[in-house]
Each structure stands twice: as structure tokens, then as C-alpha cells.
Structure 1
Amino acid sequence: MSDRFLRAWRGGRASRRARWVAAGYVVGFGEGTCSHAYSLCTGGIHAFSRAPVPIQVVFHAMLALDVLAVVLTVRASPAAPPLAAFAISADAFGNWWTQAGNVVRHPLDYLAPFGLLPITLFGVFVLATAIPLHRALAAPPSAAGQTPEQLV
């Protein structure tokens, strides 16, 4: 593992809360990666053919965006939270766009433990934590515990 990773996540500049939030990002976007990869493997290029073409493009792009969000988060990059916020916003928008009619016709279907409910809850989590996590990752490392050579 890189020094940057170890310094950021082993008590360097990221607080315990920031590490837990980042872990939530990794788990959530990791699950999204698996979900989009499964859809593409089983349905190919036409996996999302029920959706309008712009939404299909978003869903296909989500595979790359989810992976990138995980990699940047693990690397403690300050770019991870803004990218994560963009990715989950696009994913949630696409899912709501394609499934809104079903929710109106069958509102209790929204309470299923898959589909819109977890995407919406994860989206709220990411949007609520993106700015604080970005600040935590962009903050300079604390000077505590560093040798004089590391401070220069």
C-alpha cells in the first residue's frame, strides 16, 4: 500500500469519523459496481433498454464512475467525495426517472430492500457527507507526531 494511503487512513489527516464515512463510500460504491457489472454481464449493451437513451448512457457510465469512486476513496483523494456525490446523484436520478411511474402506481413497492430505497438512502448519505469528507481529505496532515525532517 502507498504511503499516502497509510498516512491518511492510519490516523494521519483523516479522523475516525472520516474513515467510517469513507468505508461507507467503499461499501456502497463497491455494491454499485457489482450491480452494474452484473447487469452488463447478463444483459449486454441492451441491459437497460427500457430506459431512455440518455439514462442508458448514465447507467453504463456508472460502472466506471463507481469503480473510480472506490479507488479514489481508498487512495484518500480529496476528489473522491465530489465524484461520489456526482455519481450517486446521476444514478439516483436515472433510477427515479425510470421507476417513478411504478412508485406512483404501487407506493409500497418503494419500501423493498432493493431498488429505489437503498439508492435513495445511500444518495442522502453521500450528499450529506461529501463536503465534510472532502474537507477532511483535503486538510494538510497534522504536524503532531512528525519528525522535523517530515515538516520541511
Structure 2
Amino acid sequence: MGIELRERWGGQPLWARWVLTVYLIGFLEGSCVHIFYLARDGIHAYASFPQVPLRVFFVSLAILDPLVAVLVGLVRREGIWPASAVMVTDVFGNWWSNRHWLQDDPAKLLPLLPITLFGLFVVAFLLPLHRTVTGTTGGPQAAQPPG
């Protein structure tokens, strides 16, 4: 497994290794945050959100974020699309939950800046990263010459 993992990481172009590293750091940080909130406050960690579906989603991030981190860390193409889906819904959920601050006190939205920038980063690299990871993990494109 170790040699195969080194080959997967080593088989990626330098830009892709950097992007995968940023993905990994971001999803590990998110994992820690959501697990911390659940450890501290239990199932009611997100009780301040009025919408039950958002509460359920944010609790589920304690599982989804680590899962994406593992798949990305293993350089699995199966982790690239879910990474984008998780981030789009996470950013949307955070902005939706805090939308009242747009009128009340927009400065209180500044803490959403890092997650929004990370979400944009993940989505921006979705297709190029999926292509390069698919091409080096034995997928259908692996046998095709570049071009």
C-alpha cells in the first residue's frame, strides 16, 4: 500500500500535488472542527441553526469531511467530486444560516471568508484535478496518450 500510495502521489504533476495537499489540509481542518463541536456539544452542536436539514448536514460533516480527506489522501478519483459537493453544500449552508447578518451587521460574515475561499478553490480545481487523478490511477483515460 505504501509503495502504491507513493506512486500515486509521485505520478501527479507538481500543481496537482499542491492542490491535493490544500484539499487534504482543508478537509482535515474541517474534520477537526466538526468533530470538536460534536464532542463538546453532542448531537445538539448545531442547535442554533433553525433549519433541521442544516443541523443534520453539519453533524454529517463529522463523517463526510474525514471520508473526503481519506479519499483525497489516497489520491482516489472517487474523492474529487464528493469534495466539491461537500464544499458547495457547506458554503451554501453557512451563508444561508448567516444570511440575516447581511442587513444586521455584514462584518459578522467575515468568518465565512476562509470557508468560502476554500470552497471556491475546491470547485475551481474540480475538473483539472479529476482529469489528472483519473489519468494516473488506472482509470479509463490512463491508457490514452495526452493530447
Q: Same fold by TM-score, threshold 0.5 exceeded?
A: yes
- What is the CA–CA distance in structure 1 between the aligned matches of 2:109 and 2:94, rounded to whole Å? 12
Stretches of 4+ aligned residues off by more than 4 angstroms:
none
Residue 114 (structure 2) aligns with: 118
Cα shift readout 1:89-146 (whole Å, capped 9, x = no counterpart): 11111111111112331112223xxx3111111000000011111111000469xxxx
Residue 137 (structure 1) aligns with: 133
Compared with structure 1, are the counterparts of its residues 60 and 141 closer, same or farther at alpha carbon in structure 2 (3 Å cutoff)?
A: closer
Residue 145 (structure 1) aligns with: none
Preserved contact between residue 4 and residue 75 of structure 1 (Cα < 8 Å): no
Residue 58 (structure 2) aligns with: 59
- What is the CA–CA distance in structure 1 between the aligned matches of 2:58 and 2:131, rounded to whole Å? 29
- What is the CA–CA distance in structure 2 between the aligned matches of 1:29 and 1:53, rounded to whole Å? 23
Q: Does 1:18 align with 2:16?
A: yes
5+ residue gaps in structure 1? Answer: 143-152
- What is the CA–CA distance in structure 2 between the aligned matches of 1:125 and 1:108, rounded to whole Å? 23
Compared with structure 1, are the counterparts of its residues 137 and 93 closer, same or farther at alpha carbon in structure 2 (3 Å cutoff)?
A: same
Cα shift readout 1:51-101 (whole Å, capped 9, x = no counterpart): 111001110111111001110011110111101001111111111111111
Identity percentage of aligned residues = 38
Residue 38 (structure 1) aligns with: 36
5+ residue gaps in structure 2? Answer: 139-147
Report the RMSD for the aligned CA atoms in angstroms: 1.5
Residue 97 (structure 2) aligns with: 98
- What is the CA–CA distance in structure 1 between the aligned matches of 2:75 and 2:4, rounded to whole Å? 8
- What is the CA–CA distance in structure 2 between the aligned matches of 1:3 and 1:30, rounded to whole Å? 23
Number of residue equivalences = 137
TM-score, length-scaled by structure 2: 0.87
Give the secondary structure class of the aligned counterpart of 1:100: coil
